[in-house]
Structure formats: structure tokens, C-alpha cells
Amino acid sequence: MKKRVLGLFALFFALLLVSCGREDKGELTVYVGLYEDHAIRAIETFEKETGIKVSHVRMSNGEILARIRAEQNAPKASVWYGGPSDTFVQAKYEGLLKSYTSPNSSFIPDIYKDPEGYWTGIYVGSIALVSNRSWLQDVGLDIPNSWEDLLKPEYKGMVSMADPRSSGTAYTILATLVQLMGEEEAFDYLEKLNENVRSYTTSGSVPGRSVGMGETGVAIMFAHDALKFFKEGFRDLVITIPKEGTGYEIGAVAMISNGPDLEAAKTFIDWSLTKQAQEIGKHTGNFQLLTNETAISPEEAFYLTEINVIDYDHNWAGLNRAILIERWVEMVK
């Protein structure tokens, strides 16, 4: 009996030592604009490396902005992870983000980060036209390679893109056209394009699946998202860059102002800027360019130096986001 009691005491003591070794490293809630597969792998890796427990909610960029705005008096999340920086810029000037300059931001070129530390770029991706080869053959059209091609009558009801109110992708398209053409000419173009658009989706990636399944003929979306769908089996997809020029996103990470777990948030941002963290995406079938100068981008990525990109002004796009979206909404009514 005495031996049994001593044995139980020894077991209890061992369990106590184990539990003490499992020091609580904190918890963190993250709003995510990445694909779910990318986000899950990244968060699992972060948890394993740091011991910080993370819960996340995946939304489109406009939805994340709306959520942070609604919760600003009692934020539930501390980090915004992924999605075009245009929306981060708007959030910055609304006072919704907290400045934080990570020591790892030294690995990120200045063109990919906010000079005051309110957001830092983790990837880059360009806007493209994404067509269904079989549909083009059926209707006798060449592969579209210009913005003007999408105004042809044969495209009526066969163009798909997202709604810029919810989608960071769609707002990048809108800001690209305004910067490329000028505001008046761009909205004249968008009004004509509206006649050919079948639907405006909530998410910027959904149009790619619609084209891949032959439901629509062409989508306007990020090239890396279309490449992901092609690799997943939608082999009729054809990706082209408009010859007039195209814009691009800087996918960003930022700290949410007055979030509940700011120390854990700093750790997450530090981690997200590392070479190892940024390279997780290509192992989950995501093909953005990476911003860390030591990281190796996917071989399939669309390099900005190899395509016709405009001198896209991300800060201007963010500052004018509300105005341009309001005008777009009035146009499509």
C-alpha cells in the first residue's frame, strides 16, 4: 500500500513538472485575407514554433475592414494578415491600425512597406485577364490581351469580377483602371464593361472558378490566384496581362489598434516577415511573389519586371478607396 501511495505521488509530481513546462505563451486572434489552405499551414507552423495559440477568421479584404471598423471600440483581433495594402492604407488613416516596425522589416524593400510602420508587405501579385480556352474556341474569339477586348459584344454576360466593396482584388482592378486611364475615362470604360459583366462576386477568387468551370468566359483577377486554379486542374484557363498595362497588389500584414494581444501580435508579425514564413505559400499551391529579399519566390510567379505593370500608387489608391467605390456603386445601380 505504501509503495502504491509513493508511486501515485511520483506520477502526480511528474505530471506537475510537465504542466509547468507547458508555459502559456499567450493567445492571438487573426483576421486573414489569404487562401484558407495557406492560412491554416502558416498558423499551424507559427503555433508550433512559438507556442502561441491562434484562432483565425478568413474574409475578403473589404469585409475585414468593415469588421475592424465595427469592433474598433472593443477589438476582438490583433492582427490583419493578407490582402491588398490599399485597404490597409484606408484603415491606417481611419486610425484602425497600430504602428509597429518589426526588426525583420529590414529584409523588406521600402517600396513594399508603409514608411511609418502601419503595414508591411509579405507578397506581391498582379491583375490579369483569365479566359476559358474552350469557350473562346466555341465563340470564335482570340485570347483577350487588352482591356478593350472585354468590351466586345461577344463578351456580353460572360465577364466575371468581384465587387470592390468587399473584395480587395476588385478594388485593385478599379484603382488600376483609374490610374491607367484617368478617372473619367476609367468610369466610362467601367460603365461599358458593366454591360458585359454577368455577376459581381463577394470574393476576388470566385470568378476564376467560374471561368474554369465554363460558367463565364473571362475573369478579371489576380494572376497568382488563376495559376492556383490551373494547378488544381482547371486546365482550360489562359492567363494574359493587358497590353495597356496592369496594376498589382502588395499583400500586407498589420497590427490592429487596441487589439487584446499586442505582444503576441508583434511576435506574429515578426514571424510573418521571415524567409521561412513567406515560403510556406508555395508549398500549399499559392504563387505570389515574396517580399523578403532572402526568400525564394515560386518559379511560376509573375515577376513584375517581366510584365507590363503601371506605376501603381498604393497610398493614393488607399486614400481614394471610399470615394472611388462610392462612385462605382452609383454606376452599377
Please, what sign has the CA dihedral across residues 185, 191, 193, 197?
positive
In a domain, 2, yes or no: no
For the whole model, what pTM was predicted? 0.92
Q: What does the block give as the cell for 194?
A: 458593366
CA dihedral 76, 80, 84, 88 (to 10 degrees): 70
Terminal-residue alpha carbon distance, the chain: 83
- Residues 6+ away with beta carbon under 8 Å from 164: 62, 170, 171, 173, 174, 324, 325, 328
Which structural domain, as residue segments, surrounds residue 237? 125-247+321-332
Q: Can you tell me whether residue 149 is helix, strand or coil?
A: helix
- Residues 6+ away with beta carbon under 8 Å from 328: 164, 174, 187, 190
CB 30 within 8 A of CB 81: yes
In a domain, 292, yes or no: yes
On whether both 293 and 201 belong to a single domain, the answer is no
The predicted structure's pLDDT at residue 5: 39
The predicted structure's pLDDT at residue 23: 53
CB 168 within 8 A of CB 128: no
State the total domains in the chain. 2
On whether both 111 and 256 belong to a single domain, the answer is yes
On whether both 208 and 136 belong to a single domain, the answer is yes
CB 243 within 8 A of CB 145: yes
Residue 248 backbone dihedrals phi, psi, to 5 degrees: -150, 155
On whether both 237 and 257 belong to a single domain, the answer is no
The predicted structure's pLDDT at residue 24: 59
The predicted structure's pLDDT at residue 309: 98
On whether both 207 and 129 belong to a single domain, the answer is yes
On whether both 149 and 116 belong to a single domain, the answer is no
The predicted structure's pLDDT at residue 8: 41
Q: What is the 3-state secondary structure (H, E, C) of 94-117?
A: CCCEECCCCHHHHHCCHHHECCCC
On whether both 189 and 327 belong to a single domain, the answer is yes
The predicted structure's pLDDT at residue 13: 40
The predicted structure's pLDDT at residue 333: 85
CB 85 within 8 A of CB 121: yes
Give the whole-angstrom CA distance, residue 325 versus residue 276. 36
> Average pLDDT, whole number, for the chain?
93
CATH number at residue 209: 3.40.190.10
Q: Which candidate, 1, 16, 8, 56, places its Cα nearest to that of 34? A: 56
In a domain, 214, yes or no: yes
On whether both 257 and 119 belong to a single domain, the answer is yes
Please, what sign has the CA dihedral across residues 114, 251, 88, 243?
positive
CB 143 within 8 A of CB 136: yes
CB contact burial 121-156 (16+ within 10 A = b; e otherwise): bbbbbbbbbbbbeebbeeeebeebeebebbeeeebe
The predicted structure's pLDDT at residue 199: 86
Mean pLDDT per 10-residue section of the chain, whose length is 333 residues: 42 40 75 96 98 98 98 98 98 98 98 98 98 96 97 96 97 98 98 96 95 96 97 97 98 98 97 98 97 97 96 98 98 92
CB 251 within 8 A of CB 125: yes
The predicted structure's pLDDT at residue 25: 79
In a domain, 15, yes or no: no
On whether both 232 and 214 belong to a single domain, the answer is yes
* pLDDT single digits (tens) 172-200: 999 999 999 999 999 999 999 999 999 89
